[in-house]
Structure 1
Amino acid sequence: MDLTNWLFWNVDTQIDFVYPRGKLYVQGAEKLRPQWKELTRLAKENSIKVVNTADYHYANSAELDSSPDFVNTFPEHCMAGTRGADYIRETDPEDPVVFDWDKEYLITPELFESKDLRNLIIRKDAFDVFTGNPLTDTILKELNPETVVVYGVTTNVCVDAAVKGLSRKVKKVYVVEDAIKELPNIPLPFDGWEKKGVELIRLKALKKMMGEH
């Protein structure tokens, strides 16, 4: 299979979400670390670029609240410059190019054509990476993938927003169903994904599709 137009999309696999001691721990997320490690390896060994999204908040962020409802607002998490905002070891991007949501960048095609660029970090200040960082659309247009493979946390918040945004702009979107985890008390998005042509796939099936046995 030709993987040249593939892109992996790692959603918010950050310490505050994944580790039980994290500020906004997603119960059970730490059990997915082996799958995330395997996806990181797959991308590297197949020279597939990875977009790594990350919550990166300051104290005045609209989604932070001292009395959160855990649907639209949440307690402080992934605060800029803190350990909790870092990626877990299994997905920590090698030599990434970082795009902060509150800075300006000159984005040129040459940057994305470089064989040395394999990891991008898009930091965001909203659930939806397409609204939480104004550069996301431009970056995706420059990368111009035909197939995007999505994984991370959380299924019914930030993963959902990424999948919906990608499904409008990319030919094929896969979500690795045994590499995502949801938050409680928020509806699951699977029916909506199916209507958009998004396909759920298990990691084992993905590896087989990519030619791994």
Structure 2
Amino acid sequence: MKISDCDALLAIDVQNDFCTGGALAVPGGEKVVPAINRIAQKFANVVLTQDWHPHDHVSFAPNHAGKQPFQTIELDYGTQVLWPAHCVQGTSGAEFHRDLDVVRPSLVVRKGFRRGIDSYSALFENDHRTATGLLGYLRERELKTVFVAGLALDFCVRFSAEDARKAGLEVVVIEDACRAIDLDRSAAAAHQSFRDLGISVVGLEAFL
């Protein structure tokens, strides 16, 4: 696959809390690191995202009496999954995995830092209105195609890919450089969404 200066790699939430031993570990999460590092060498434009929650974030199950992780509540922007407390600002769990190349990226986008709203997508928070600023950055840089990798395929990767596609960008998900939580068949739902929106899904062999 030929990569141009109009392409960007978006590496989603490769943080300690989403890797083995973390507060919200995605099965095999750390295995995306070598793949992302290898792929990133082919891109002039690399962006990292970082979940960055306050300790009292609305999405944390411990902040709701009687609620357990992975139950849901209704908020003004819709249904919200409740998660174990994770990626709390300033903690080691919020740090990038130690083996991730953090030198090459030109931008780090922090998301989920507003207490009252969760933020899966790298482009918009879960109300689908509050922008993170990434879309403006991509447009200002005249980047036309976004390649998406990271954690987790069926949540933050999915929402980021969907929002980028709906904004008019070409989007490619690098499946081998992602891992899924697969909560109530959410991985299958993500793949169906990719097909419906015309989001391409490729493997690492496309970059060899």
TM-score interval for Structure 1 and Structure 2 normalised by the shorter chain? 0.7 to 0.9
Aligned mates of 2:3, 2:25 — CA distance in 1: 37
Question: What does residue 196 of structure 1 align with?
Answer: 197
Aligned mates of 2:3, 2:108 — CA distance in 1: 25
Read off the aligned partner of 1:76 and give its amino acid letter. Answer: A
Question: What does residue 57 of structure 1 align with?
Answer: 53
SS of the counterpart of 2:192? Answer: helix
Aligned mates of 1:85, 1:79 — CA distance in 2: 6
Q: Would you identify which runs of 4 or more consecutive aligned residues in structure 1 move more than 6 Å?
A: none
- Which structure 2 segments of 5+ residues have no match? 63-67, 73-80, 113-118, 126-130
SS of the counterpart of 1:200? Answer: strand
Aligned mates of 1:9, 1:195 — CA distance in 2: 21
Q: CA deviation at 1:65?
A: 1.6
Q: CA deviation at 1:63?
A: 1.3
Among 109, 131, 137, which residue is 1:122 paired with? Answer: 109
Could you tell me whether the CA contact under 8 Å between 2:37 and 2:101 is conserved in 1?
no
Could you tell me whether the CA contact under 8 Å between 1:51 and 1:121 is conserved in 2?
yes
Aligned mates of 1:41, 1:90 — CA distance in 2: 15
- Judging changes above 3 Å, is the alpha-carbon distance between structure 1 residues 156 and 70 closer, same or farther for their aligned structure 2 residues? farther
Read off the aligned partner of 2:89 and give its amino acid letter. Answer: A
Question: What does residue 8 of structure 1 align with?
Answer: 9
- Judging changes above 3 Å, is the alpha-carbon distance between structure 1 residues 2 and 57 closer, same or farther for their aligned structure 2 residues? closer
Aligned mates of 2:38, 2:146 — CA distance in 1: 16
Calculate percent identity across the aligned residue pairs.
25
Question: What does residue 25 of structure 1 align with?
Answer: 25
Q: How many residues align?
A: 180
Could you tell me whether the CA contact under 8 Å between 1:40 and 1:91 is conserved in 2?
no
Q: CA deviation at 1:177?
A: 1.1
- Judging changes above 3 Å, is the alpha-carbon distance between structure 1 residues 62 and 144 closer, same or farther for their aligned structure 2 residues? farther
Aligned-CA RMSD value: 1.9
| TM-score normalised over the length of structure 2 | 0.79
Question: What does residue 77 of structure 2 align with?
Answer: none
Read off the aligned partner of 2:48 and give its amino acid letter. Answer: N
Could you tell me whether the CA contact under 8 Å between 1:148 and 1:170 is conserved in 2?
no
1:174 matched to 2:172: yes
Read off the aligned partner of 2:110 and give its amino acid letter. Answer: R
Q: CA deviation at 1:2?
A: 6.0
| TM-score normalised over the length of structure 1 | 0.77
- Which structure 1 segments of 5+ residues have no match? 96-117, 209-213
Aligned mates of 1:146, 1:91 — CA distance in 2: 25
